[in-house]
Amino acid sequence: MLGDSSIMKMATMRFFVIEHFLGMLIAITLGTLGHSLVKRTTNDTTKYNRQLWLFGLALLVIVASIPWPIRPGFEAHGWI
């Protein structure tokens, strides 16, 4: 799929091949980084702030990478 140039012309396929994959990879990286940094921290305030920012950012990336049916081109994949 990655070697085919026509994939980049179709919005739905481009989303799954590039945007969804990279978004989930970034979210996994942020979650892992947040978990390892929180484990090492002894101060509760710093621990809470790191949890809030890193896990919140990972959740935001996950939600942005979901193929919602309200996005153009995804109407057939949802309940609309």
- SS in 3 state form for 11-73? HHHHHHHHHHHHHHHHHHHHHHHHHHHHHHCCCHHHHHHHHHHHHHHHHHHHHHCCCCCCCCC
Q: How far apart (Å, rounded) are the C-alpha atoms in residues 26 and 64? A: 12
Is residue 44's pLDDT more than 80? Answer: yes
Domain ranges of the chain: 5-66
Q: pTM for the complete prediction?
A: 0.76
How far apart are alpha carbons 34 and 60 in whole angstroms? 14
Position 1 scores a pLDDT of: 58
The mean pLDDT of 56-66, rounded to a whole number, is: 93
The per-residue pLDDT for 69 is: 74
Are 30 and 61 in contact, with CB atoms under 8 Å apart?
yes
